[in-house]
Amino acid sequence: MFQRLTGLLLAVALCLSAYGVQAADNRLILTGSSTVAPLVLEMAKRYEQQHPQVRIDVQTGGSTRGVNDTRTGLAHIGMASRNLKPTETGLRVHTIAIDGVGIIVHRSNPISSLSNTQIIDIYTGKIRNWKDVGGRDLSITVVNKAEGHSTLELFLNYFALKNSQVRPSIIIGDNEQGIKTVAGNPGAIGYVSIGAAEFSQARGVTIKRLPLEGVAASVAEVQAHRFPLARPLNLLTGKSPSPLARRFIAFAQSEAVADLIADQFFVVPR
Amino acid sequence: MMAKCLDHLRSKDGRWNASLALLTAGMVALLLTILLFLMSEAWPFLISADTGHGGNRLFTNLLQNPGWYPLEGRFGLAPMILASLAVMLGAILIALPLGLINGIYLEFYASAAFARGFRLLLNLLAGIPSVVFGLWGLTRLVPWITQWQPPGASLLAAILVLSLMILPTIALTSASALASVPRELHTGAIALGLRRTSQIIHIMLPAARSGIVAGTILAAARALGETMAVLMVAGNVVQIPATLFEPVRVLTANMALEMAYAVGEHRASLFASGLLLTLVVWGLSWMAYRLGRHQRKFARHD
């Protein structure tokens, strides 16, 4: 009994000393975009499982914080859900996933495409009936996302809208609720992550994805960087990242996390 | 004194007593911690001054209703408070008469075998997770209302789903309130030669009133606190509805929709609405408790 206890104490002491020695290269701090953070958090969990001595700390605060913290050295790796601005120099960009958002309508809707102006007019309430864009005489149900969701942010940015300009008929939380809402309403229009929409459509859910600027809303087009309503999810580092940061980024870009990316309805870049 | 205390602790009953007291104190402390947590998280929003107008932001927001655009610094909570109350009252309005009829039927008309089966069914209904009701509402009820009055997801859909959820509670509590009315009252009514409808309406229902009301208040508290089912069918547009067919957003749905993404003052405003809701639900539970106590006293009196 006593021996076992001593052994245990010894083991604990060893662990502690080992931790003390390696602490510098065992901790990784990531800050930035709240869109990228949930995905990176899952990746970090898996990485920690495989490397029990490593501790990864993921904090949110927006893409700009990710850029600033990486430049000032507050974070080892920054997270940004956008491309770098010309002024943001001295950083290296590592894309880990792409977020693509597609416009969806009910499958019975005869409309096969809408122009960007038409979509803006529908979302701001200037067009309220499908017959005004060449469809049936049916009032339009505008499905919008709740404030704070990254999909909403991407949508508003792309169409240069403010959320208070949008005249929604229904507000939804996650992709699944959005898809079910549109599938149950022949007059509905909404936007969801393309991965989620393709997945549901393949299983017979009564929705239809509309092309944007002539590009089909599919995972393949997002992967090929052709689909316009999409953005990269990036990890940022300085010009010479630490070995651990390098290893984590290699892990985040490897096949080992492809399932985590798909789970969050993002697209694996090619 | 000390020795006496220790003596008491040494006895089996004493130990049992002490450990129960300890556990209860722990639970009370936990509940208070939750309340304190809510308050401290909501504090920045509760005290923040409205930059434009001076005065407290919460109250100016409540009175002027600037709309709910937290990312643009506009925190109009009033439409959501009204929506929560409207959904609750609507659900009670539908579920109370139906539940009461079910309760009366169970107590006075149903055969013993049927009553047993029906009670079992009601218990089962009361135990169905709310997200199941929500899913049913979203995939069946909302499309059905859409055919008639688009967009379908609306105050009406929320009221219908909620009334279905609280119906079993009201039916079961009113049945047991009727059952706990002293037997003498019922036999007396029979001896007076009253018809069965008169017995029920003039003797039994008034005697069971406070129990029925207490059950209804508990159901109302549940309706007010319900989140998933309402979120899925109510449409969640922040507005004061003009008709039953317009979408609304209730306080609980607002928290569930935005909490994961909210930071700073936005987050504090969500905690403030949580605090408000908690206080209202506690108030309702306290009322139900008071009324329930009255019912028990009444029952003992005879």
Domains of chain B: 77-301 (1.10.3720.10)
- Interface A-B, measured as beta-carbon pairs within 8 A, has a size of 87
Residues B133-155: what's their mean pLDDT?
88
Reported ipTM: 0.71
Question: Cβ A173–B256 below 8 Å, yes or no?
Answer: yes
Tens digit of pLDDT for each residue in B255-301? 988 876 777 788 888 998 899 898 888 888 888 888 777 666 655 54
Report the C-alpha gap between B152 and B154 in whole angstroms. Answer: 6
Q: How far is CA A191 from CA A26, A106, A177, A212, B53, in A?
A: 41, 12, 11, 12, 37
Task: Determine contact: A31 vs chain B, CB below 8 A.
Answer: no
Measured between beta carbons, the chain A residues lying within 8 angstroms of B257 are 146-147, 171, 173
How much is the pLDDT for B300?
53
Say whether pLDDT at A142 is over 80: yes
- pLDDT top residue among B9 and B209: B209
Tens digit of pLDDT for each residue in A163-199? 889 999 999 888 888 899 999 899 999 999 898 898 8
How much is the pLDDT for A65?
83
Is residue B151 reached through a cis peptide bond, with omega within 30 degrees of 0 on the bond before it? yes
Of A146, A163, A177, the CB nearest to B232: A177
Q: How far is CA A108 from CA A105, A212, B58, B277, in A?
A: 8, 19, 46, 41
CA–CA min distance B266, chain A (Å): 10
Domains of chain A: 2-98+233-263 (3.40.190.10), 99-223 (3.40.190.10)
Tens digit of pLDDT for each residue in A109-138? 999 999 999 999 999 999 999 999 999 999
Question: Cβ B72–A34 below 8 Å, yes or no?
Answer: no
How much is the pLDDT for A38?
86
CA–CA min distance B71, chain A (Å): 7
Residues B164-190: what's their mean pLDDT?
91
Measured between beta carbons, the chain A residues lying within 8 angstroms of B74 are 164
How much is the pLDDT for B250?
93
Tens digit of pLDDT for each residue in A203-250? 899 999 999 999 999 989 998 889 999 988 999 999 989 999 999 999
Report the C-alpha gap between B269 and A174 in whole angstroms. Answer: 21
Name the pTM for this structure: 0.74
Residue B93, both tokens? 């309005």
Say whether pLDDT at B117 is over 90: yes
Of A34, A146, A149, the CB nearest to B236: A146
Q: Give the whole-number percent of chain A exceeding pLDDT 70.
A: 91
**Which of B140, B148, B155, B257 should be substituted to probe chain A, the one whose Cβ sees the most A Cβ atoms within 10 Å?**
B257
Q: Give the whole-number percent of chain B exceeding pLDDT 90.
A: 40
Tens digit of pLDDT for each residue in B38-92? 999 888 888 775 544 445 666 666 767 778 888 777 888 889 989 999 999 999 9
Report the C-alpha gap between A60 and A70 in whole angstroms. Answer: 13
Of A150, A170, A180, the CB nearest to B236: A170
Task: Determine contact: A169 vs chain B, CB below 8 A.
Answer: yes
Measured between beta carbons, the chain A residues lying within 8 angstroms of B263 are 34, 60-61
Please, is B139 exposed, middle or buried when counting C-beta atoms within 10 Å of its C-beta (0-12, 13-18, 19+)? middle
Task: Determine contact: A180 vs chain B, CB below 8 A.
Answer: yes
Say whether pLDDT at B110 is over 70: yes
**Which of B71, B233, B249 should be substituted to probe chain A, the one whose Cβ sees the most A Cβ atoms within 10 Å?**
B71
